[in-house]
Amino acid sequence: MTYLDHAATTPMRPEALAAYAAVLADTGNASSLHASGRRARRIVEESRETLAGVLGARPSDVVFTGGGTEGDNLALKGLYWARRRAEPTRRRVLVSAVEHRAVLDTVQWLGAEQGAEVELLDVDAAGMVHPDTLAAALERDPAAVALVSVMWANSEVGTVEPVAELAAVAHRHGVPFHTDAVQAFGQIPVAVGEGGPDAITVSAHKIGGPVGVGALVVRRGLVLEPLTHGGGQERDIRSGTLNTAGVAAFAAAAATACAQAPREGARLAALRDDLVRRVQEKVPGAVLNGAALGGAPGDPQRLPGNAHLTFPGCEGDSLLMLLDARGIECSTGSACSAGVARPSHVLLAMGAGEEHARGSLRFSLGHSSRAADVDALVEAIGPVVERASRAGALAGMTGA
């Protein structure tokens, strides 16, 4: 198989597998006081220190979670509830229109069930939120804003947001800023930093760690209401027995990914650029979505491993299945609900029409990607697009 869906999940790194297996073979609950428990606790705390180091945070700022979705829910619900408890007039929640469903569905629930006034921030044609857009939204009634959330890098089109500038705008109005950095972490520099985000969501399986573990980095002094209650683990913010093996593997993957990121980013960007160029040579009508390729060194506008393309006249689902039949795995830019394909909300928010949004595919590269993967895609893409185009034309003629 040719795997081009690293943005969905990426293979575990050898360092993470080794750490995972070593801890799984042991026994111990990190909350227990006996020797096995203390041994597990030491592994957890050393892993916390490792993650804090690569994220520019204090170890006490790192709250382990079950993954990115839980981290986003904890950040958004926890912040909203805490802010409302302190100041009942703070009902406004500002998020970008291109967020992952883990954010959008959470704030929509807050709106439907908890009285939040959810406002979606507009993006430009590349999927970027401009600081002026956020400033204008905040200035309408800053005293009523509970929180702002804008993802660090878009999970579909790979556009990197100006997180530092957006956080600065929110802070000028006394509003906490959260970012979903699940896609960005391990690919580009992600850190709390002075004046940076107040809360950052990260996940292990996007960087070569295991599924089922993540972290929410919470700046000291920021109050969150917990989602779960019980044993009081993780500073009473996230109760539950810690996944010691997953935490250890997460830390090992993070250390490797972040250390290799500058070199690996350059390698993946070169592979990505080659993929886009050669695919567009085979299919001249293919359109690149998101930010332009390239960008200043150390300040990319697009994730190095992301190539998101629309093939006019084709259905993304058809393209995906035809490529899958040839042994090439990627993802479609649309989300499916109850078996009904829907155009990507990200592309629609960027100003694309429904037909354009339906005909998109995301090819994402990762640490195991090689030039042979690009070669395989380039060899297959022409015949696949031709067949999908014929099927689309036939469906149009028959009204199907």
Which residues form the catalytic set? 336
Q: What is the longest distance spanned by two Cα atoms in the chain? A: 72
Would you give the distance in Å from CA 171 to the centre of its chain? 23
CA 361, CA 311: separation in Å to the nearest integer?
8
Tell me the backbone φ, ψ of residue 31, rounded to 5 degrees: -95, -5
Nearest to 302 by CA among 165, 204, 133, 187: 187
Phi and psi, residue 205, nearest 5°: -75, -10
Q: Which residues pair with 340 in a beta bridge?
A: 337
Question: Cα separation of 145 and 91, whole Å?
Answer: 6
CA distance 360 to 343: 9
Q: How many residues does the chain have?
A: 400
Residue the block writes with tokens 């209650």: 229
**What's the DSSP call for residue 33?**
-
Q: Which residues of 326-350 are buried (b: 16+ CB within 10 A; e: fewer)?
A: eebebbbbbeeeeeeeebbbbbbbb
